[in-house]
Amino acid sequence: MNKIALITGASSGIGEACAHVFAREGFNLILTGRRAEKLEKLANALNIQYNTEVAVANFDIRNKASVTQNLEQLPEAWKKVDVLINNAGLSKGLDPINAGDTNDWDLMIDTNIKGLLYTSKIVSNWMIANGHGHIVNLGSIAGKEVYPNGNVYCATKHAVDALNKGMRLDLVQHGIKVSAINPGAVETEFSNVRFNGDAERAKKVYEGFTPLAAMDIAETIYFIVSRPAHVNINDLTIMPTAQANAVTFVRK
């Protein structure tokens, strides 16, 4: 019987790349996100390429009732989740605290912290019932450092860092591994979302150096998950070679 990975935010970027890697490695997948069409297309492609069985659960992770309903209505066989990748997340805006848009703050806090919590509560209970599991949390260099105008996004990723430690403390007794991966700059839809679709501004973020690709992160997550049973990688920070910390880049 194939293992099962549940990937939140699988409709683009790192989540989509994880879907490809985990399908290639023989997992069946539960893919979540708001864009149903993208998820269905991905599910079909993985089914054709790898014979992967895929369950698509289409919901907004900010909506507690929707998260609960969509996950709990999955057939019992799909609740034998081996790996949860808490990936769905975003940044909105890059403004000093006095000028920030409070709607952007709500969006980031509700998605990056509360959505991750709603999902983790449900899936960790399934893992406890199954007697094993591995949760991988998408943190960020923004959860290790704070950079100018990053205020609330950095706060949400510092919260993910704290939750990564807290979950590990609470779940170790159940044989559940908890790991975080904290990337620097990865070229995905991330900056486009941060800058409200301003593609020119988004492109500038990655100019003059080679950023990480979503696949770099997906392969590293698979490395974390495929360690022997007695090994857990608690926390891993991964950067483009040209990036030394949150704000220091060598651009040519």
Tally: H helices and E strands in the chain: 9, 9
Which candidate, 170, 150, 135, places its Cα nearest to that of 91? 150
Q: Which of 9, 10, 246, 249 touches ligand 8X3 by CB under 6 A?
A: 246
Place of tokens 């800058």: 195
Which lies closer to ligand NDP via its Cβ, residue 176 or residue 221?
221
- Going from the C-alpha of 189 to that of each of 52, 90, 110, 198, the distances in angstroms are 25, 9, 19, 11
Chosen from ligand 8X3, ligand NDP, none, partner binding at 243 (C-beta under 5 to 8 Å by type):
none
Q: Please state the closest distance from residue 63 (CB atom) to ligand NDP, in A.
A: 8
Question: How many CB atoms are located within 10 Å of the residue 34 CB?
Answer: 14
Structural contact between residues 74 and 55, judged by C-beta atoms closer than 8 angstroms: yes
- Residue 32: beta bridge partners? 57
**CB-nearer residue toward ligand 8X3: 103 or 245:** 245
Cα–Cα distance for residue pair 33/107, rounded to 1 Å: 15
193 binds, among ligand 8X3, ligand NDP, none (CB under 5 to 8 A by kind): ligand NDP
**Shortest reach from residue 235's CB to ligand NDP, in Å:** 14
From the list ligand 8X3, ligand NDP, none, which binds 119 (C-beta under 5 to 8 Å, kind-based)? none
Residue ranges that bind ligand NDP, judged by CB under 6 A: 9-15, 33-35, 60-62, 87-90, 111, 138, 140, 183, 185-186, 188-190, 193, 214
Is 118 in the active site? no
Mark 137-156 with x for binding to ligand 8X3 (rule: CB under 6 A) and - for no binding: ---xxx-------x------
| 235-238 β-sheet, strand order | 54-58, 28-33, 4-7, 83-86, 133-138, 176-183, 235-238
**Beta strand segments in the chain, E:** 4-7, 28-33, 54-58, 83-86, 133-138, 176-183, 186-187, 212-213, 235-238
70 binds, among ligand 8X3, ligand NDP, none (CB under 5 to 8 A by kind): none
x/- map, 52-71, ligand 8X3, by CB under 6 A: --------------------
Q: Which does 12 bind (CB under 5 to 8 A by kind): ligand 8X3, ligand NDP, none?
A: ligand NDP
Known catalytic residues? Answer: 153
